[in-house]
Amino acid sequence: MISSTTKVQSPLIQQLRHGLEPEQFKNAWLDIVEGWRRRELWATLGLHDVRQRYRRSTLGPFWITISMGVMVFALGLLYGQIFGQELHEYLPFLAAGFVIWGLLSEMILGGCSTFISAEGMIRQLNAPVSIYAYREVWSAVIAFAHNIWIFFAVAWWYDVGLSWNALWVLPAVLILLINGFWMSLFFGLLSARFRDVPLIIGSVVQVLFFMTPVIWRPEMLPDRALFLQLNPFYHMVEILRAPMLGQTPAFENWLAVLLIAVFGWAITLFFYSAYRWRIAYWV
């Protein structure tokens, strides 16, 4: 039966009322916990996603490594000249930045298609929908694991010293993944309902790439500009890049990233409990 509502009682408000029942919060939390329990499934799916992109090519996913390598060397030589940088310092900096940026952008851009690309499965499988967010994060991690070798190669070639600071890498990666997970849930949810969100996010991420010190150094700015401090990606890149280059990560960067995680998760949990049940209808 099809009826057209003449005066639409805004469906968003209507749905929100249903979504804000306290039991929905519990369900959303259970969905995430249950999703973690199904890790064998999403780990396999994430792996297939990566393999799918490079299927039947001779080198397979190592094309990820190669294209990252080409990019780092070409841009490294070019911008090293433009900025008048010493290559032995600039190339490791650039390689680390690129690899981290790759992880972040993959999690956000992939996150936008979290639910859209899983349309068929969401409508047929009674699994917790959070598994699709885990899957996106996991395939970003797999790509990261391929890219990181470029950094290792550059670091070995230019003899980047190893220090105890390198231990900061682990918690940094962990907090980035925790942030990536809420982004994947949040942007995935938003994109499932509003289909131009992925396009908006796509162009924002592109602009942010140039606004974030990946190819340029923060020190190159005349004085620490406000827009740098307000850029969340600056802090996220910095907490991982500093230990990779053997430096101690700055307290302010870690504080910023922790705040992003707390606020991001608070907003995501709110939206996820309110609208998780609508995802199957939206896709």
Partner 1 sequence: MASITLEQVSVSFPVYSSATRSIKNRLIQSATGGQIRSESGSDRISVVQALQDINLRLESGDRIGLVGHNGAGKTTLLRVLGGIYEPNEGRVSIKGSTVPLFDISLGMDPESTGYENIVLRGLYLGLSRSQMRARLEEIAEFTELGDFLNLPIRTYSAGMRMRLAFAVSTSVAPDILLIDEGIGAGDAAFLQKASERLKLFTEQVSIIVLSSHSEALISKMCTKAVLMEHGRVVGAGTTAEVLEQYRESRDGPLKAPEPEAEASREPETQPEQAGVTALGGASSEGTPEERADWADRTAHLLRERRWQDVDLDRLVNEVESLAHPHPRTQ
Three-state secondary structure call for residue 147: helix
63 binds partner 1 (CB under 8 A): no
Residues 16-55, interacting with partner 1 (CB under 8 A)? 18, 38, 40-41, 44, 48, 51-52, 55
Task: Confirm if 239 and 257 have CB atoms less than 8 A apart.
Answer: yes
Q: By CB under 8 A, name the one of 84, 120, 161, 222 that touches partner 1.
A: 120
Instruction: Give me the least distance between CB of 206 and partner 1, in Å please.
Output: 18
Shortest distance in whole angstroms from residue 128 CB to partner 1: 10
In the range 251-280, which residues lie near partner 1 by CB under 8 A?
A: 277, 280
- Check binding of 197 to partner 1 (CB under 8 A): yes
1 binds partner 1 (CB under 8 A): yes
**Binds partner 1 by CB under 8 A, chosen from 152, 157, 210, 281:** 281
Q: Is 282 exposed, middle or buried (0-12, 13-18, 19+ CB in 10 A)?
A: middle
Q: How far is the CB of 73 from partner 1 (least distance, A)?
A: 31
- Binding of residue 223 to partner 1 (CB under 8 A): no
Closest CB to partner 1 among residues 197, 258 = 197
Of these, 3, 162, 203, 222, which contacts partner 1 (CB under 8 A)?
3
* Three-state SS letters, 80-136: HHHHCCCHHHHHHHHHHHHHHHHHHHHHHHHHHCCCCCCHHHHHHCCCCCHHHHHHH
Burial class for 147, CB neighbours closer than 10 Å (0-12, 13-18, 19+): buried
